[in-house]
Structure 1
């Protein structure tokens, strides 16, 4: 009976078995050579393997206890603090019983031997050292053994580095296993999430030349427009904040463009932070990035996470359900091919004040890009009429984010119009790189002013005093 108990299923054992059995695509000799390299600290590696073997053995006498143990191990890998503390304590106890506390870790930056062993067996290896200092850390980028840290939108080489590629692959296998995902020769990539919602993108041998990991963190900070005016950000100034508040209250449909790490998410969150808590907002994302309910617990928000690989939980289905849940505004993280038509219909059928993002180079390109997505479903639509409709009702106001002087900036605010069969963008605000200041080349159109007078007459009068509109 005892022998049978020892052979019960163990999550960690299964993970190790998968790592041991899996060969790199194409039988990569490079991966094998790294795996066979002799470690510089054999005593520490023997210690790690002893503790790993101990943890592999199923804990508990009953099936329920073993399931609880596996769940705790799962949560420790994904970053749940209580379980991580528990397993560090278990490791520390075993080190004391085995009289191993004299062993020096390969990396001496860990506070204790138990923490170093935890990082090797359960945690994220050397990345644990980076995670201790999360202040300002936006991304961790791993390419082979090399690590880069992204802070303030800029990637710099990390002082830390993996010793072997097998360490990267071990972390990949743990993460996909405990996220019910897979990365193997048939599927050489995966996307998973850590406990705090941080997104991890993984690629393996055969898809990329070396295994990679990109961990994108989502800040816990509270963002509003006033925050973005502060000296540590300088994303906008007070005058632009006044303009943005009037645009929000006037329920313009808005679109945000800009490269990765340019501050699009921060701007969207800051705009939503200014909305009344009672307003029903529905967000639709492929991965939870905005984390609005976490940061704004009192707001009336429904958050959808969609998967285009699952027809029952795709963006189209989320939109259909969202439109039946009485949303005042819809926040769509990024317009994609399959749900472009649904978002266009939502913006033209009463859900004013919605906001989305789209990948284009210039604000002028956004309506055409959305038109192209809508045309992909094969419906017999007139592209010219569709572009006009999108310009006038979906992308009424555009925001362009980017980097300037090492800081994220709102580079441009444009009002869309459709004239003589072409998309036109009126430059309301533009950042001047030469002077390092914002300029206000043009005023809002009469059509925009009428809307402001309808929804926010006080705000319109303030803009008139600022010289942003002709009359109210």
Structure 2
């Protein structure tokens, strides 16, 4: 259970201790706290205890909650030190364990794994669900707590709502998303409150889950709203996993049926003109917020329809953020900034989920506003903010197998669009040849990403991708093209602990005896792991100086050769970085 302490300048302070584990706030007569204000709904906010924690959820059109300065629809588990504001009311929610209310002081100490609490400090066991900042390794249950009766109720409500929509002959295509959600929400509430469900069932929760599956993304809605979650993986309708702070965790959510997952996939791909069916059982798409989506359905997926969503930060990341995360050292960041500004062709190399797209977005901040940029992607996910920007997206074939526009065609077309820079989201195949030709024909300063484990592997992959273009080109000619086109390779790595670091920055210096020559300028030297399981190490300069710095000096440009000195290890959070 829990206790809610509510403060307001006019009403003073009230303390609410609901006996049934649910506290309703709003204008309704049955609300535990009658709130006033033009922006307060009848049932405005619901606070409830579930799965060992206390959660707060906004209801209705105005049901937004300000938690620790951030506006959100749902949050939890709530801790006593969380600052919660609702329409001028300040709330302090204090969970109770074993019928004892925990005070703020008792919440001040949350023990890390492997550490011993100080003498006399109470240790509070908290649920890992929805915790915004995980400070310890947690193990989520392998399956959420649902029973068969609950899923049957969800399906029954779905069918009843669908039949009601058919009877009223509502033209769904003519409604805006907000109007559609309002109409369907009214039908769902009407159906739920009329049905004879057992009294122990949470009707508000039932309404929310049915509504999200009917017009939203089902149980994924809450995960998409949680900024601490970076990846959402649906293996089948009753297996959902998430990635939070680099850790994979089984999520407390499931869909009502396999068909519900299929409907949500259709809802994702339809607005961007893509399709998924038995003839095309896999698709790449994106959400309205820019998140990347991949979906696969049977017969390719043996367990059932599966969805993978890669979320991107809503905040515009800067190089200072990567330095604060210890993902890169200050001198390395300064050098990469100079490379972008001096129009060097850069390839960002790394494995899946290593942060290549994020780093590419950060590097794009250094492109001057007066330059014209053309971005080319399979599914649009780059976020560039320059004014003279053209974004192109590849198109798959239609049901007749026609109309496909590949990335390679878009790269060739981009050459006719007067670009100062061409940015390709990712090179996977024959488009690498066109990208190299663009780099060699006056489009300096181009950026792209590709999958590889090391900078040397990146060169080998480039050779293979050029051969995939189907052109009968000798290998030595391909290597000469690569050596003259690519200037810098930035290698980024995701470690087992979830940390992402720039592990190598290499310069391509030319070709000798048929082999492309690389000169490593900076490197990350791993030194084991700390007590929390995080990778330890230092960023070091190798002492080598890139060749183009001599050219810059001859042109009278200021150069700082001190960043390449190898006397001291470089610190990721070293002060003094100026963008």
TM, length-normalised to structure 2: 0.63
Pick aligned residue for 1:218 from 298, 312, 316: 312
1:463 aligns to what?
A: 561
| Equivalent-residue separation in structure 2 for 1:347 and 1:237 (angstroms) | 28
Q: Which residue of 1 aligns with 2:537?
A: 436
> Among 307, 310, 323, which residue is 2:395 paired with?
307
Call closer, same or farther: CA 1:422–1:104 in 2, change over 3 Å.
Answer: farther
Q: 2:553 aligns with which of 447, 453, 471?
A: 453
1:415–1:158 CA distance, 2 compared to 1 (3 A): same
**Shift in Å, 1:410:** 0.7
Segments of structure 1 that go 5 or more residues without pairing to the other structure are 1-36, 61-65, 77-82
**Does the C-alpha gap of structure 1 residues 441 and 204 become closer, same or farther in structure 2, counting only changes over 3 Å?**
same
* 1: CA distance, partners of 2:379 / 2:287: 12
Q: Corresponding residue for 1:273?
A: 365
Question: Do structure 1's residue 55 and structure 2's residue 155 form an aligned pair?
Answer: no
- In the alignment, the residues of structure 1 paired with residue 197 and residue 219 of structure 2 have an alpha-carbon distance, to the nearest angstrom, of 15
1:100 alignment partner in structure 2: 193
* Higher share of residues assigned helix: 1
8 Å Cα contact 1:199-1:216 kept in structure 2: yes
For residues 357-415 of structure 1, what are the alpha-carbon distances to aligned partners after superposition, in whole Å with 9 as ceiling and x for unaligned? 22223211323322333234444433213202312x22211011112453211111011
Kept in 1, the 8 Å contact 2:286–2:380? The answer is no
Aligned residues: 404
Helix, strand or coil at the partner of 1:438: strand
Q: Distance in 2 between matches of 1:196 and 1:416?
A: 37
Distance change (3 Å), C-alpha of 1:44 and 1:307 = closer
Gaps of 5+ in 2: 1-146, 528-535, 567-579
Q: Which residue of 1 aligns with 2:518?
A: 425
Q: Structure 2 CA distance, aligned partners of 1:243 and 1:343?
A: 24
Secondary structure of the 1:399 match is strand
**What's 2:322 paired with?**
228
What SS is found at the alignment partner of 2:216? Answer: coil
| C-alpha RMSD of the superposition | 3.0
- Aligned to 1:257, what secondary structure does the other structure show? strand
Match of 1:115 in 2: 208
Deviations 1:424-460 (A, max 9, x none): 2211111011151101123124x322343367821x2
CA contact (8 A) 1:368 1:387 kept: no
Please tell me whether the aligned partners of residues 44 and 105 of structure 1 are also in contact (alpha carbons under 8 angstroms).
no
Give 2:300's match in structure 1, choosing from 202, 207, 210. 207
- Within a 5 Å distance, the mapping from 1:328-339 to structure 2 comes to 328-339=420-431
The aligned residue for residue 399 of structure 1 is 490
Q: Structure 1 pair 454/266, CA: closer, same or farther in 2 (3 Å)?
A: farther
Question: Could you say which residue in structure 2 is the equivalent of 1:18?
Answer: none
Measured at CA, do residues 240 and 95 of structure 1 come closer, stay the same or move farther in structure 2, by a change above 3 Å?
closer
Q: Report the equivalent of 1:70.
A: 173
Paired with 2:200 and 2:498, the residues of 1 have a C-alpha distance of 33
- Alpha carbons of structure 1 residues 455 and 215: separation in structure 2 relative to 1, 3 Å: farther
Structure 1 counterpart SS, 2:249 = strand
Residue 23 of structure 1 is matched in structure 2 by none
Q: Does 1:130 align with 2:228?
A: no
Once residues 321 and 254 of structure 1 are traced to their aligned partners in structure 2, the CA distance between those partners, rounded to angstroms, is 21
In 1, the alpha carbon distance for the partners of 2:315 and 2:198 equals: 35
Residue aligning to 2:374: 282
Q: Is the 8 A contact 2:377 2:393 kept in 1?
A: yes
User: CA separation in 2, counterparts of 1:95 and 1:349?
Assistant: 60
Over 3 Å counting, the alpha-carbon distance change for 1:220 and 1:454 in structure 2 is farther
Offset at residue 319 of structure 1 (A): 2.1
SS at match of 1:337: coil
Q: Contact 1:147/1:160 (CA < 8 Å) preserved in 2? A: yes
* The structure with more strand, counted as a fraction of residues: 2
* Equivalent-residue separation in structure 2 for 1:254 and 1:332 (angstroms): 11
Of residues 332-341 and 169-178 in structure 1, the stretch that sits farther from structure 2 once superposed is: 169-178
Local SS of the residue matching 2:283 = strand
Q: CA 1:224–1:120 in structure 2 vs 1: closer, same or farther (change >3 Å)?
A: closer
Whole-Å Cα distance in 1 between the matches of residues 295 and 167 of structure 2? 28
Partner SS, residue 430 of structure 2: helix
Whole-Å separation in 2 of the counterparts to 1:341 and 1:175 = 32
CA contact (8 A) 2:450 2:458 kept: yes
